[in-house]
């Protein structure tokens, strides 16, 4: 699944070879067997972070300038909220080392429930808040976050 605004469709090549390489890596790798950590596919241009955590009742919005995020649940279930960055107020300065800006929370974002095998592809204009409980109690999530350099 990809969600974006029609105005951005000419800005990025969503079928770029990097995206295809990431999809193939995710399909061909036993993600359940991988421990948490960073897995390079093509150095800083294309890599995957495997995370394990418990979902939380609230999230925080973040966005990146230099990378697309492919947020894919391997095990468990979580809510991921997203909203265009131009509708938010930053609450941190952009950190170029971590390629992240954090934003003031709002309940006005759209909500997705991601289950095992589901992913959302979010671009630089998409602030996203992962790790949120989809139900009334925290659950374990194992997730792959693909990082695709622009």
β-partners of residue 103 are 61, 90
Give the class (CATH, top level) of 6-149: mainly beta
Contacts of 57 (CB under 8 A, 6+ apart): 132, 133, 138
Let me know if 10 is exposed, middle or buried by CB neighbors in 10 A (0-12, 13-18, 19+). Answer: exposed
3-state secondary structure of 117: coil
CA dist list (Å): 29 to 25, 93, 101: 6, 36, 31
d(CA 136, CA 141): 15
Task: Give residue 64's pLDDT.
Answer: 97
CB 125 within 8 A of CB 82: no
CA dist list (Å): 109 to 5, 39, 46, 113, 128: 14, 30, 28, 13, 9
* pLDDT per residue as tens, the chain (150 positions): 466 666 776 777 766 899 989 999 999 999 999 999 999 999 999 999 999 999 999 889 999 999 999 999 999 999 999 999 999 999 999 999 999 999 999 989 999 999 999 999 999 999 999 999 999 999 999 999 999 999
Domain limits, the chain: 6-149
Strand ranges, E, within the chain = 37-42, 46-54, 61-63, 67-75, 77-84, 101-103, 110-115, 119-122, 126-132, 140-149
């Amino acid at each position: 699944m990809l969600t974006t605004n029609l105005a951005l469709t000419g800005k990025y090549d969503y079928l770029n070879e990097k995206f295809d390489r990431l999809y193939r890596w995710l399909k061909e790798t036993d993600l359940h067997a991988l421990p948490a950590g960073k897995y390079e596919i093509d150095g800083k241009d294309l890599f995957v972070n495997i995370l394990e955590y418990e979902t939380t009742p609230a999230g925080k919005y973040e966005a990146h300038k230099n990378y697309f995020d492919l947020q894919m649940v391997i095990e468990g279930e979580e809510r991921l909220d997203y909203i265009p960055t131009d509708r938010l107020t930053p609450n941190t300065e952009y950190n170029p080392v971590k390629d992240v800006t954090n934003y003031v929370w709002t309940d006005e974002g759209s909500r997705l429930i991601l289950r095992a095998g589901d992913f959302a592809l979010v671009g630089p204009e998409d602030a996203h808040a992962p790790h949120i409980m989809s139900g009334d109690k925290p659950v374990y999530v194992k997730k792959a976050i693909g990082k695709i350099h622009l």
